[in-house]
Structure 1
Amino acid sequence: MKSAVDRLTPLGVMVLALLREDDMHPYEMIRLMRHRHDDRIVSVTNGTMYHTVARLEKSGLLAEVGVDRDGNRPERTTYTLTDAGHEVVQDWVRRELPLLDRHVEFRVALAEAHNLPREDVVALLSTRREHLARARDELADGIAHARESKTGPASVIEQYLIEIDRERALLAADHDWLADLLERLAHPDFVWGSHEKTDRYLAQREAARS
Protein backbone atom coordinates (compact mmCIF):
# COMPACT_ATOMS: atom_id res chain seq x y z
CA MET A 1 0.00 0.00 0.00
CA LYS A 2 1.40 3.37 -1.00
CA SER A 3 2.25 5.90 1.70
CA ALA A 4 1.08 9.53 1.62
CA VAL A 5 4.52 10.52 0.33
CA ASP A 6 4.35 7.97 -2.51
CA ARG A 7 0.87 9.16 -3.55
CA LEU A 8 1.89 12.82 -3.65
CA THR A 9 2.35 14.36 -7.11
CA PRO A 10 4.69 17.29 -7.87
CA LEU A 11 1.66 19.60 -8.18
CA GLY A 12 0.31 18.26 -4.90
CA VAL A 13 3.57 19.16 -3.17
CA MET A 14 3.42 22.70 -4.53
CA VAL A 15 -0.19 23.11 -3.41
CA LEU A 16 0.66 21.98 0.12
CA ALA A 17 3.70 24.25 0.14
CA LEU A 18 1.49 27.22 -0.77
CA LEU A 19 -0.76 26.43 2.17
CA ARG A 20 2.26 26.52 4.45
CA GLU A 21 2.27 30.24 3.68
CA ASP A 22 -1.42 30.84 4.43
CA ASP A 23 -4.94 29.53 3.89
CA MET A 24 -6.03 29.89 0.24
CA HIS A 25 -8.72 28.94 -2.24
CA PRO A 26 -7.74 27.02 -5.41
CA TYR A 27 -8.23 30.01 -7.72
CA GLU A 28 -5.75 32.02 -5.66
CA MET A 29 -3.31 29.10 -5.79
CA ILE A 30 -3.53 29.00 -9.59
CA ARG A 31 -3.01 32.75 -9.92
CA LEU A 32 -0.14 32.77 -7.46
CA MET A 33 1.65 29.84 -9.12
CA ARG A 34 1.34 31.47 -12.53
CA HIS A 35 2.51 34.82 -11.17
CA ARG A 36 5.58 33.10 -9.72
CA HIS A 37 6.06 31.12 -12.97
CA ASP A 38 5.77 27.81 -11.14
CA ASP A 39 3.97 26.56 -14.25
CA ARG A 40 7.46 26.28 -15.79
CA ILE A 41 7.90 23.20 -13.63
CA VAL A 42 4.45 21.60 -13.47
CA SER A 43 1.32 22.01 -15.59
CA VAL A 44 -1.28 24.16 -13.81
CA THR A 45 -4.83 24.18 -15.15
CA ASN A 46 -8.17 24.69 -13.42
CA GLY A 47 -8.93 21.00 -13.87
CA THR A 48 -5.65 19.67 -12.50
CA MET A 49 -5.72 22.11 -9.58
CA TYR A 50 -9.24 21.27 -8.39
CA HIS A 51 -8.63 17.55 -8.89
CA THR A 52 -5.40 17.77 -6.89
CA VAL A 53 -7.04 19.75 -4.07
CA ALA A 54 -9.86 17.18 -3.87
CA ARG A 55 -7.35 14.31 -3.63
CA LEU A 56 -5.34 16.11 -0.95
CA GLU A 57 -8.48 16.79 1.07
CA LYS A 58 -9.54 13.15 0.80
CA SER A 59 -6.08 12.13 2.03
CA GLY A 60 -6.40 14.40 5.06
CA LEU A 61 -3.51 16.65 4.01
CA LEU A 62 -5.63 19.80 3.78
CA ALA A 63 -9.04 20.79 5.11
CA GLU A 64 -11.83 23.20 4.24
CA VAL A 65 -12.04 26.26 6.51
CA GLY A 66 -14.67 28.41 4.80
CA VAL A 67 -16.70 29.28 1.72
CA ASP A 68 -16.91 32.85 0.41
CA ARG A 69 -18.89 34.54 -2.35
CA ASP A 70 -17.89 37.92 -3.78
CA GLY A 71 -20.66 39.54 -5.83
CA ASN A 72 -21.68 37.43 -8.81
CA ARG A 73 -18.55 35.28 -8.66
CA PRO A 74 -18.85 31.55 -7.92
CA GLU A 75 -18.36 30.39 -4.36
CA ARG A 76 -14.72 29.91 -3.39
CA THR A 77 -13.74 27.32 -0.83
CA THR A 78 -10.71 28.19 1.29
CA TYR A 79 -8.41 25.42 2.52
CA THR A 80 -5.88 25.12 5.29
CA LEU A 81 -2.97 22.74 5.77
CA THR A 82 -3.32 19.92 8.31
CA ASP A 83 -0.52 18.66 10.53
CA ALA A 84 -0.21 15.64 8.25
CA GLY A 85 0.12 18.00 5.27
CA HIS A 86 2.96 19.87 6.96
CA GLU A 87 4.85 16.65 7.58
CA VAL A 88 4.33 15.09 4.16
CA VAL A 89 5.77 18.11 2.32
CA GLN A 90 8.96 17.87 4.33
CA ASP A 91 9.15 14.08 3.95
CA TRP A 92 8.65 14.33 0.16
CA VAL A 93 11.33 17.00 -0.26
CA ARG A 94 13.75 15.01 1.90
CA ARG A 95 13.19 11.94 -0.25
CA GLU A 96 13.57 13.67 -3.61
CA LEU A 97 16.48 16.07 -3.08
CA PRO A 98 19.29 13.48 -3.22
CA LEU A 99 17.82 11.33 -6.02
CA LEU A 100 19.00 11.35 -9.63
CA ASP A 101 16.92 10.58 -12.75
CA ARG A 102 13.72 12.16 -11.35
CA HIS A 103 14.04 15.51 -13.05
CA VAL A 104 10.61 17.06 -12.45
CA GLU A 105 10.51 15.83 -8.85
CA PHE A 106 13.95 17.27 -8.18
CA ARG A 107 13.00 20.68 -9.60
CA VAL A 108 9.94 20.79 -7.33
CA ALA A 109 11.97 19.57 -4.33
CA LEU A 110 14.58 22.24 -4.98
CA ALA A 111 11.91 24.93 -5.33
CA GLU A 112 10.40 23.86 -1.99
CA ALA A 113 13.67 23.07 -0.19
CA HIS A 114 13.28 26.22 1.91
CA ASN A 115 10.59 24.34 3.85
CA LEU A 116 13.39 22.29 5.45
CA PRO A 117 16.06 23.47 7.88
CA ARG A 118 19.18 24.75 6.13
CA GLU A 119 21.43 22.04 7.62
CA ASP A 120 19.12 19.28 6.35
CA VAL A 121 19.17 20.71 2.84
CA VAL A 122 22.96 21.00 2.87
CA ALA A 123 23.26 17.35 3.94
CA LEU A 124 20.78 16.10 1.33
CA LEU A 125 22.31 18.11 -1.51
CA SER A 126 25.79 17.00 -0.47
CA THR A 127 24.61 13.41 -0.91
CA ARG A 128 23.23 14.33 -4.32
CA ARG A 129 26.56 15.88 -5.26
CA GLU A 130 28.31 12.63 -4.37
CA HIS A 131 25.86 10.68 -6.53
CA LEU A 132 26.44 13.10 -9.42
CA ALA A 133 30.22 12.79 -9.12
CA ARG A 134 30.01 9.01 -9.11
CA ALA A 135 27.70 8.88 -12.15
CA ARG A 136 29.83 11.44 -14.01
CA ASP A 137 33.03 9.53 -13.36
CA GLU A 138 31.52 6.18 -14.35
CA LEU A 139 30.34 7.61 -17.66
CA ALA A 140 33.69 9.29 -18.28
CA ASP A 141 35.53 6.02 -17.62
CA GLY A 142 33.19 4.14 -19.94
CA ILE A 143 33.64 6.67 -22.74
CA ALA A 144 37.42 6.65 -22.33
CA HIS A 145 37.48 2.85 -22.46
CA ALA A 146 35.30 2.83 -25.59
CA ARG A 147 37.58 5.33 -27.32
CA GLU A 148 40.72 3.43 -26.41
CA SER A 149 39.35 0.11 -27.74
CA LYS A 150 40.03 0.45 -31.45
CA THR A 151 39.38 -3.20 -32.30
CA GLY A 152 37.58 -6.19 -30.86
CA PRO A 153 34.16 -6.56 -29.19
CA ALA A 154 34.67 -3.48 -26.96
CA SER A 155 35.34 -1.12 -29.87
CA VAL A 156 32.78 1.67 -30.45
CA ILE A 157 32.82 4.26 -33.20
CA GLU A 158 32.44 7.88 -32.14
CA GLN A 159 28.96 8.47 -33.54
CA TYR A 160 27.52 6.06 -30.97
CA LEU A 161 29.08 7.98 -28.09
CA ILE A 162 27.41 11.33 -28.78
CA GLU A 163 24.41 10.86 -26.47
CA ILE A 164 26.37 9.37 -23.60
CA ASP A 165 28.98 12.13 -23.87
CA ARG A 166 26.20 14.71 -23.60
CA GLU A 167 24.91 12.96 -20.47
CA ARG A 168 28.39 13.08 -18.95
CA ALA A 169 28.63 16.81 -19.69
CA LEU A 170 25.21 17.46 -18.11
CA LEU A 171 26.16 15.51 -15.00
CA ALA A 172 29.42 17.49 -14.74
CA ALA A 173 27.60 20.81 -15.13
CA ASP A 174 24.95 19.82 -12.56
CA HIS A 175 27.68 18.74 -10.13
CA ASP A 176 29.58 22.02 -10.50
CA TRP A 177 26.42 24.10 -10.11
CA LEU A 178 25.47 22.17 -6.99
CA ALA A 179 28.94 22.60 -5.48
CA ASP A 180 28.58 26.37 -5.95
CA LEU A 181 25.08 26.36 -4.41
CA LEU A 182 26.33 24.48 -1.34
CA GLU A 183 28.99 27.14 -0.82
CA ARG A 184 26.36 29.87 -1.02
CA LEU A 185 24.01 28.01 1.33
CA ALA A 186 26.75 27.82 3.94
CA HIS A 187 27.05 31.62 4.02
CA PRO A 188 24.96 33.27 6.79
CA ASP A 189 23.88 36.08 4.45
CA PHE A 190 22.02 33.59 2.24
CA VAL A 191 18.43 34.08 3.47
CA TRP A 192 16.73 30.78 4.28
CA GLY A 193 13.39 29.56 5.58
CA SER A 194 10.50 31.70 6.68
CA HIS A 195 11.07 35.43 6.66
CA GLU A 196 9.10 38.65 6.93
CA LYS A 197 6.35 39.07 4.35
CA THR A 198 7.38 42.04 2.25
CA ASP A 199 5.12 44.62 0.60
CA ARG A 200 5.81 42.91 -2.73
CA TYR A 201 4.69 39.57 -1.32
CA LEU A 202 1.50 41.06 0.11
CA ALA A 203 0.74 42.84 -3.19
CA GLN A 204 1.28 39.55 -5.03
CA ARG A 205 -1.15 37.78 -2.73
CA GLU A 206 -3.75 40.51 -3.14
CA ALA A 207 -3.50 40.34 -6.93
CA ALA A 208 -3.92 36.56 -6.83
CA ARG A 209 -7.10 36.84 -4.75
CA SER A 210 -8.85 39.23 -7.12
Structure 2
Amino acid sequence: MWSEMTGKRPANPLALAVLGLLLEQPMHPHAMATALRERQLDQAFKVTTGSLYDTVRALARDGWIEATDTEQVGGRPARTVYRHTSEGKRQFTDWLDELIREPSQEYPRFLSAVSYLGALGRQRAAQALRERAAALEARIAAGEKAYREATERHGAPRLFVIEAEYARAMADAELRWVRQTAEEIERGTLEWPEVSPDA
Protein backbone atom coordinates (compact mmCIF):
# COMPACT_ATOMS: atom_id res chain seq x y z
CA MET A 1 0.00 0.00 0.00
CA TRP A 2 0.96 3.66 -0.27
CA SER A 3 2.05 3.92 3.36
CA GLU A 4 5.20 1.90 2.58
CA MET A 5 6.99 5.20 1.95
CA THR A 6 5.69 8.54 3.20
CA GLY A 7 1.97 7.78 3.31
CA LYS A 8 1.19 10.29 0.57
CA ARG A 9 2.07 11.30 -2.93
CA PRO A 10 4.06 14.45 -3.64
CA ALA A 11 1.86 17.55 -3.55
CA ASN A 12 3.86 19.46 -6.16
CA PRO A 13 2.98 18.37 -9.75
CA LEU A 14 6.59 19.12 -10.69
CA ALA A 15 7.45 15.84 -8.95
CA LEU A 16 5.82 14.02 -11.88
CA ALA A 17 8.20 15.70 -14.31
CA VAL A 18 11.26 14.94 -12.17
CA LEU A 19 10.28 11.31 -11.71
CA GLY A 20 9.50 10.98 -15.41
CA LEU A 21 12.89 12.33 -16.45
CA LEU A 22 14.63 9.92 -14.09
CA LEU A 23 12.95 7.00 -15.85
CA GLU A 24 15.12 7.87 -18.85
CA GLN A 25 18.42 8.13 -16.99
CA PRO A 26 19.94 9.41 -13.73
CA MET A 27 20.55 13.15 -13.85
CA HIS A 28 21.23 16.23 -11.76
CA PRO A 29 18.68 19.04 -11.27
CA HIS A 30 20.42 21.37 -13.73
CA ALA A 31 20.10 18.75 -16.49
CA MET A 32 16.46 18.24 -15.48
CA ALA A 33 15.75 21.96 -15.88
CA THR A 34 17.40 21.98 -19.31
CA ALA A 35 15.40 18.95 -20.46
CA LEU A 36 12.12 20.46 -19.21
CA ARG A 37 12.76 23.68 -21.12
CA GLU A 38 13.86 21.91 -24.31
CA ARG A 39 10.69 19.80 -24.30
CA GLN A 40 8.56 22.80 -23.36
CA LEU A 41 7.38 20.97 -20.26
CA ASP A 42 7.93 24.21 -18.39
CA GLN A 43 4.51 25.13 -19.85
CA ALA A 44 2.89 22.15 -18.14
CA PHE A 45 4.77 22.47 -14.85
CA LYS A 46 5.77 25.60 -12.99
CA VAL A 47 9.56 25.36 -13.10
CA THR A 48 11.89 27.68 -11.23
CA THR A 49 15.35 26.83 -9.95
CA GLY A 50 14.08 26.98 -6.38
CA SER A 51 10.98 24.88 -6.98
CA LEU A 52 12.96 22.24 -8.87
CA TYR A 53 15.62 21.87 -6.18
CA ASP A 54 12.96 21.84 -3.45
CA THR A 55 11.10 19.08 -5.30
CA VAL A 56 14.26 17.01 -5.74
CA ARG A 57 15.14 17.40 -2.05
CA ALA A 58 11.61 16.39 -0.99
CA LEU A 59 11.61 13.32 -3.25
CA ALA A 60 15.01 12.26 -1.87
CA ARG A 61 13.90 12.86 1.72
CA ASP A 62 10.75 10.79 1.22
CA GLY A 63 12.56 7.87 -0.40
CA TRP A 64 11.35 8.27 -3.99
CA ILE A 65 14.82 9.02 -5.39
CA GLU A 66 18.39 8.78 -4.15
CA ALA A 67 21.72 10.43 -4.85
CA THR A 68 23.89 8.15 -6.93
CA ASP A 69 26.89 10.21 -8.01
CA THR A 70 28.28 13.70 -8.48
CA GLU A 71 29.39 15.40 -11.67
CA GLN A 72 31.79 18.30 -11.96
CA VAL A 73 32.50 20.22 -15.13
CA GLY A 74 35.42 22.63 -15.10
CA GLY A 75 35.43 25.01 -12.15
CA ARG A 76 31.69 24.70 -11.54
CA PRO A 77 30.41 23.26 -8.27
CA ALA A 78 29.82 19.52 -8.17
CA ARG A 79 26.28 18.51 -9.10
CA THR A 80 24.49 15.63 -7.41
CA VAL A 81 23.04 13.04 -9.77
CA TYR A 82 19.81 11.31 -8.73
CA ARG A 83 18.01 8.11 -9.70
CA HIS A 84 14.82 6.33 -8.69
CA THR A 85 14.81 4.05 -5.69
CA SER A 86 13.21 0.71 -6.56
CA GLU A 87 10.21 1.47 -4.35
CA GLY A 88 10.00 5.03 -5.68
CA LYS A 89 9.90 3.77 -9.25
CA ARG A 90 7.13 1.31 -8.43
CA GLN A 91 5.07 3.95 -6.63
CA PHE A 92 5.61 6.43 -9.45
CA THR A 93 4.39 4.00 -12.11
CA ASP A 94 1.34 3.15 -9.96
CA TRP A 95 0.59 6.88 -9.60
CA LEU A 96 1.09 7.48 -13.32
CA ASP A 97 -1.17 4.55 -14.19
CA GLU A 98 -3.94 6.05 -12.06
CA LEU A 99 -3.54 9.53 -13.56
CA ILE A 100 -3.83 8.18 -17.11
CA ARG A 101 -6.74 5.82 -16.42
CA GLU A 102 -8.92 8.11 -14.32
CA PRO A 103 -9.98 11.52 -15.70
CA SER A 104 -9.98 14.11 -12.94
CA GLN A 105 -11.90 17.35 -12.76
CA GLU A 106 -9.58 20.24 -13.52
CA TYR A 107 -10.43 23.92 -13.33
CA PRO A 108 -8.60 25.89 -16.03
CA ARG A 109 -8.89 29.67 -15.85
CA PHE A 110 -10.04 29.97 -19.46
CA LEU A 111 -13.04 27.72 -18.83
CA SER A 112 -14.02 29.90 -15.89
CA ALA A 113 -13.65 33.09 -17.95
CA VAL A 114 -15.61 31.74 -20.93
CA SER A 115 -18.57 31.22 -18.59
CA TYR A 116 -18.91 35.02 -18.46
CA LEU A 117 -17.94 35.89 -22.05
CA GLY A 118 -21.20 37.81 -22.50
CA ALA A 119 -20.09 40.41 -19.96
CA LEU A 120 -17.51 41.72 -22.45
CA GLY A 121 -19.97 42.64 -25.12
CA ARG A 122 -19.84 41.37 -28.70
CA GLN A 123 -17.00 43.45 -30.06
CA ARG A 124 -14.68 43.11 -27.07
CA ALA A 125 -15.39 39.37 -26.74
CA ALA A 126 -14.59 38.78 -30.42
CA GLN A 127 -11.39 40.84 -30.14
CA ALA A 128 -10.32 38.92 -27.01
CA LEU A 129 -10.92 35.60 -28.75
CA ARG A 130 -9.02 36.71 -31.85
CA GLU A 131 -6.08 37.75 -29.69
CA ARG A 132 -6.18 34.39 -27.91
CA ALA A 133 -6.22 32.64 -31.30
CA ALA A 134 -3.07 34.51 -32.35
CA ALA A 135 -1.34 33.55 -29.08
CA LEU A 136 -2.36 29.92 -29.57
CA GLU A 137 -1.00 29.94 -33.12
CA ALA A 138 2.34 31.24 -31.83
CA ARG A 139 2.40 28.63 -29.07
CA ILE A 140 1.62 25.84 -31.54
CA ALA A 141 4.40 27.01 -33.87
CA ALA A 142 6.91 27.14 -31.00
CA GLY A 143 5.81 23.69 -29.87
CA GLU A 144 6.26 22.29 -33.36
CA LYS A 145 9.76 23.73 -33.54
CA ALA A 146 10.70 22.27 -30.15
CA TYR A 147 9.22 18.90 -31.13
CA ARG A 148 11.22 18.80 -34.37
CA GLU A 149 14.41 19.75 -32.52
CA ALA A 150 13.87 17.04 -29.93
CA THR A 151 13.07 14.30 -32.43
CA GLU A 152 15.13 15.22 -35.48
CA ARG A 153 18.09 17.08 -34.05
CA HIS A 154 18.50 15.34 -30.70
CA GLY A 155 17.09 11.97 -31.75
CA ALA A 156 14.60 11.67 -28.88
CA PRO A 157 12.28 8.71 -29.37
CA ARG A 158 8.69 9.72 -30.08
CA LEU A 159 7.50 8.12 -26.82
CA PHE A 160 9.75 10.49 -24.83
CA VAL A 161 8.07 13.54 -26.34
CA ILE A 162 4.55 12.18 -26.85
CA GLU A 163 3.19 14.74 -24.40
CA ALA A 164 4.01 17.37 -27.04
CA GLU A 165 1.64 15.60 -29.44
CA TYR A 166 -1.11 15.67 -26.83
CA ALA A 167 -0.47 19.35 -26.10
CA ARG A 168 -0.62 20.09 -29.85
CA ALA A 169 -3.94 18.23 -30.21
CA MET A 170 -5.42 20.15 -27.27
CA ALA A 171 -4.14 23.48 -28.58
CA ASP A 172 -5.50 22.71 -32.06
CA ALA A 173 -8.92 21.88 -30.62
CA GLU A 174 -8.96 25.06 -28.54
CA LEU A 175 -7.84 27.14 -31.52
CA ARG A 176 -10.68 25.74 -33.67
CA TRP A 177 -13.25 26.51 -30.97
CA VAL A 178 -11.89 30.02 -30.33
CA ARG A 179 -11.91 30.90 -34.05
CA GLN A 180 -15.37 29.46 -34.61
CA THR A 181 -16.83 31.30 -31.62
CA ALA A 182 -15.22 34.59 -32.68
CA GLU A 183 -16.70 34.13 -36.17
CA GLU A 184 -20.16 33.44 -34.75
CA ILE A 185 -19.96 36.59 -32.64
CA GLU A 186 -18.82 38.68 -35.61
CA ARG A 187 -21.58 37.28 -37.86
CA GLY A 188 -24.17 37.86 -35.16
CA THR A 189 -25.24 34.20 -35.09
CA LEU A 190 -24.36 33.73 -31.42
CA GLU A 191 -27.27 34.93 -29.28
CA TRP A 192 -26.15 37.69 -26.93
CA PRO A 193 -27.66 38.80 -23.63
CA GLU A 194 -29.64 42.06 -23.54
CA VAL A 195 -27.52 43.32 -20.61
CA SER A 196 -24.33 43.35 -22.66
CA PRO A 197 -22.69 46.83 -22.78
CA ASP A 198 -22.80 47.02 -26.58
CA ALA A 199 -25.81 44.74 -27.27
TM-score by length of 1: 0.48
TM-score by length of 2: 0.50
